[in-house]
Structure 1
Amino acid sequence: MKKHKLETYLEVYDSISELPDTIQNLINKAQQARDNAYAPYSRFKVGAALELANGTIVTGNNQENAAFPSGLCAERVAVFYAGANYPGERILHLALTVKSGHKVINTPTPPCGACRQSLAEYEVGQGQPIALYFMGETGKVVKSGSIRDLLPLIFDSSFLEKL
């Protein structure tokens, strides 16, 4: 038997103000999207904003449905919209922020597993990392330089049999 150690490196910023202006703007867009989320059941609102290589910013927010799990997370709303409307355009950065109707969330909140897998599909497909910035409602911001930092053992098309 052989053991392998996996390490992840993340950058942690004490506040949005420590980030470059372009990333602050992206987080602001994610916060605006978050505030418009449709989350009447969980009251847990999530907003995402991504910047494409052509400079376009695409936003998304979570969309809940009484028939769980028919809703969709903010990250996938944004990335699928970008894929549908800007096919082949690389995603450079993605900002993610959350807000709860039950309590203030100060802890940086990363994407769920399904969103990590969806983002990995785009990152692998474009052959370039997607920088991900995530936070709670307030407080620290965490930067992951690549989806691989959050999902190091990704499942991608290389595992599928070619027809």
Structure 2
Amino acid sequence: MVTDVNGSLRDMARRIEHHTTSPHSAEKVFGAMVDETYLRDRLAAIGGTNAELVSFSYADGKASYELKQGVPAEHLPSVAKSLLGGDLVIKRVEIWAAGAGTVEVTLSGVPGRLDGAFTITGNGSGSKVTLTGEAKVSIPLMGGKLEKVIAEQVVVLLDKESEFTTQWLANRG
């Protein structure tokens, strides 16, 4: 807990930095991240309950899209279950251009968000994707616990997405 400028106690945001690697080039991984078919395939494979590509646009090498993903209540930690009272719905807006992207994530029923930036860089013969961001939940006493849960779940999701991307690209030669 920290004291803000008004003297009120609040939770600090939880920083997230996570790296995944791929045997595919940065150009191929970026190409997948801005491909509508890839996004639909990824959501179908690992998007969870009622997953959908809400919006997608691509022009002049820049992509912008919104994803909706669901996590059934039975797969949530007890602290999240008690707060949500049901399934978790994740809304995720990503904007990508030239091997880098931003992400904004909001969660249904939770006064908080995750904001971050992605980079895709060459890594030997493959590539590395890095997410740097912060999870912030504005609930007194519970915010820090939920930020920890969010950070842990983001890492699990990014690892699954990385595995999916590697397979998806391998299947396309």
Work out whether the TM-score is over 0.5: no
Return the index of the structure with the highest Cα Rg. Answer: 2
TM-score for both structures, normalised by structure 2: 0.27
TM-score by length of 1: 0.28
Structure with greater strand share of residues: 2
Larger relative contact order (Cα-Cα within 8 Å, sequence gap ≥ 6)? 2
